[in-house]
Amino acid sequence: MSSIALLGFADAESERLMAGISALDSSLKLVKFTSETSKDELAASVEGALVWGAGTGLAGPSGIVHAAADAGVPVVVILPVVSLDGISATREEVEVCFMPCTAEEVTVRLGIAMSRNAPIETANTITHGELMIDYDRYEVTLKGRKIDLTYKEYELLKYLASNPGRVFSREALLRSVWEYDYFGGTRTVDVHVRRLRSKIDDITHHFIETQWNVGYRFRSPGGSS
């Protein structure tokens, strides 16, 4: 099930659209957030966002749309008039619907936006730009060159790269990657991230980003920081 943030959904028309989307796709968990929600909170909580432009206030929807996109969250913005009003529709994370629109159209556009953000997986591999993770061989290559990683470094990279744009706290990474083998403190995560960065990051590649006071996320090449 994918958690989807609802922003600006307050009036009767937006509620009807929300009900239509829920009825159409039961795999989507629709959760209301306020327009003041930070990009870090969105990145840590949801896999996509729907923005009801008419309900975002006098400042308009552009701020929250770009905040969501900056967090790596695919977003569909529903606008009341045929005007982008400061929204860059060229961003791969953003899809635009103009009213009147149906639940079917919004759901399709949300799927398109989310598919663009998904990692490329073929034959048990995951690829982000020049970085490739081979599940069968437990092997990581960058620009075709093999990267030597420990088992936990590999598992940590694989977990982050499988969820690009999503922020994970140190505690969440410990539970998911270290599981019952873990006996240390959260500093263990920091140490492994630092080692990973030393092996896969350089002047042209910055795959793992720190979200201060939250944790870490994987930044797919071409994504926004």
Please give the pLDDT value at position 224: 42
Q: Which of 5-19, 59-73, 200-214 has the lowest mean pLDDT?
A: 59-73
Alpha-carbon span 40 to 17, nearest angstrom = 26
In this predicted model, what pLDDT tens digit does every residue of 152-194 receive, in sequence order? 999 999 999 988 888 888 888 888 888 755 566 778 899 999 9
Please give the pLDDT value at position 225: 40
Alpha-carbon span 78 to 8, nearest angstrom = 10
C-alpha dist (Å) from residue 136 to 83, 132, 189 = 48, 12, 24
Task: Calculate what percentage of the chain has a pLDDT beyond 70.
Answer: 87
Confidence of residue 221 (pLDDT cuts 50, 70, 90): low
In this predicted model, what pLDDT tens digit does every residue of 3-32 receive, in sequence order? 888 888 888 988 999 999 999 888 888 888
Please give the pLDDT value at position 157: 94
Please give the pLDDT value at position 158: 93
Alpha-carbon span 154 to 117, nearest angstrom = 22
- pLDDT greater at residue 203 or residue 78: 78
Tell which residue, 1, 13, 8, has the closest CA to residue 103. 13
pLDDT tops 60 at residue 212: yes
Q: Which two tokens stand for residue 175?
A: 């539970």
Mean pLDDT across the chain = 82
Flag whether the pTM goes above 0.75: no
Mean pLDDT of 65-77: 81
Architecture of the 120-218 domain: Orthogonal Bundle (1.10)
pLDDT tops 70 at residue 220: no
Domains of the chain, residue spans = 2-117, 120-218
Please report the DSSP string for the chain in residue order: -EEEEEES--SHHHHHHHHHHHHH-TTEEEEEE-TT--HHHHHHH-SEEEEEGGGS-TT-SHHHHHHHHHTT--EEEEESSS--TT--TTSTTEEEEESS--HHHHHHHHHHHHHHHSPEEETTEEEETTEEEETTTTEEEETTEEE---HHHHHHHHHHHTSTT--EEHHHHIIIIIGGG--S-THHHHHHHHHHHHHH--SS---EEEETTTEEEE--TT---
Architecture of the 2-117 domain: 3-Layer(aba) Sandwich (3.40)
In this predicted model, what pLDDT tens digit does every residue of 51-64 receive, in sequence order? 888 777 656 677 77
**Contact partners, residue 201, CB within 8 Å, separation at least 6:** 207, 208
Please report the DSSP string for 26-56 in residue order: TTEEEEEE-TT--HHHHHHH-SEEEEEGGGS
